[in-house]
Amino acid sequence: MKKIVIKLGTGILSAGRGNIRTDRMEEWAKSIATLSAQGIETIIVSSGAVGLGMGKLGIEERPKDLSLLRACASIGQCLLMNAWSQSLEKAGLIASQVLLTREDFESRKRSQKVEETLCTLLKQKVVPVVNENDSVSDEEIKFGDNDVLSALLASIGKADFLIILSTATGLMTHPTSGTLIPFVAEITPSIEAMAKGTHSATAVGGMVTKIEAAKIACGSGCAVFIGSGEQPAELSSIINGRNVQGTFFAPTGLELSERKKWVAFFPTPKGSLTIDIGAEEAIIEKGGSLLAIGISKIEGDFEKADVVEIKNQQEQIIARGITRFSKHELLGLQGKQNEEILALFPGKNRPEVIHRDHLAPLQSEKS
């Protein structure tokens, strides 16, 4: 990994209107300095200007008057940038301010200028701190959000990883009573339907814009993590794919072999499928898909689109993959031929339990 973009939301930067969490900023700065020492370049996309400005003016609700909103952004941006500059300086880093609008991405020529500026700053070991230029752009204040901005930056900057941190734990099956979805292989309409907007008095966007950002970044070959930023010390764990709460989104713009790395190493498996020797040969030696007829044992509690481990008859883990059937469905499919499966599930256009495009052999564990 050579370059990452970190987007930080208003909720985790604000310590109440007009105040800022400099303690968290300093922790992130330390983590970024550690990454820099490892040769990883970092771009920060920081929200919070409007909320800080509101606090200084004693305004409780996000103004609907655009001129007043621009004034809040202008006041807050000074406070925000000063805090970042001081925090990064304590970690031995130099900060720079970059203010952008959607117009800066409208033409290839302008977006190239943005890319050139960022690349030059990074080469000089400077950390760009980017925000929307809300103080001059009505459209950006009314419709814009830093989630999408961070994805556009990740795309033009050819970043390897986009990390979106806010007060949200990640993508949930239901916004209030659901469970966390740890890994998304593909952003489908059903995934988008789970996202809900924010009700914050100072922020815009919510999970809807985060999913939109993930679509942009993933389509450009950039992996995405959406999770909580309330524990800044976990930044290195996110980078290394360790056990952190949040949702990883696999990059779809990468070559197949690169996409499979995410299936193999990042998500936590929800169950396991033990297969016979014929199925093992088909997967490991021929690069084939996993069929129901080759499954001898099903363990765990998983749903459709969850990641599962695949074991051989010696109980060795030989692969991981994204299942197209839930455990409940698979229990009735063991030993069945493809034609029987299609007859039982007429809505499915393929009979594979795990298609080879979503199956990652773990060669290091084959013995």
Q: What pLDDT is attached to residue 266?
A: 54
CATH number of the 269-365 domain: 2.30.130.10
Separation of alpha carbons 152 and 80, rounded Å? 22
CB 147 within 8 A of CB 10: no
pLDDT in tens, 179-232: 889 889 888 888 888 886 555 544 455 888 899 899 888 888 899 999 988 877
Q: Is 55 helix (H, G, I), strand (E, B) or coil?
A: helix
CB 131 within 8 A of CB 45: yes
Separation of alpha carbons 325 and 306, rounded Å? 9
Express the helix, strand and coil content of the chain in percent, nearest 5 each: 45, 20, 35
CATH number of the 3-264 domain: 3.40.1160.10
Q: What pLDDT is attached to residue 34?
A: 92
Walking along the chain (367 residues) 10 residues at a time, the average pLDDT comes out as: 92 80 93 93 93 88 87 92 96 96 75 92 96 74 70 89 91 81 86 68 68 87 90 78 82 65 70 95 92 93 91 92 91 82 75 90 51
pLDDT in tens, 325-341: 999 989 988 777 888 88
Q: Per DSSP, what are the bridge partners of residue 182?
A: none
Q: Do domains 3-264 and 269-365 have the same CATH topology?
A: no
Residue extents of the structural domains in the chain: 3-264, 269-365
Q: Is 37 helix (H, G, I), strand (E, B) or coil?
A: helix
Q: Per DSSP, what are the bridge partners of residue 275?
A: 295
Separation of alpha carbons 218 and 275, rounded Å? 32
Q: What pLDDT is attached to residue 341?
A: 83
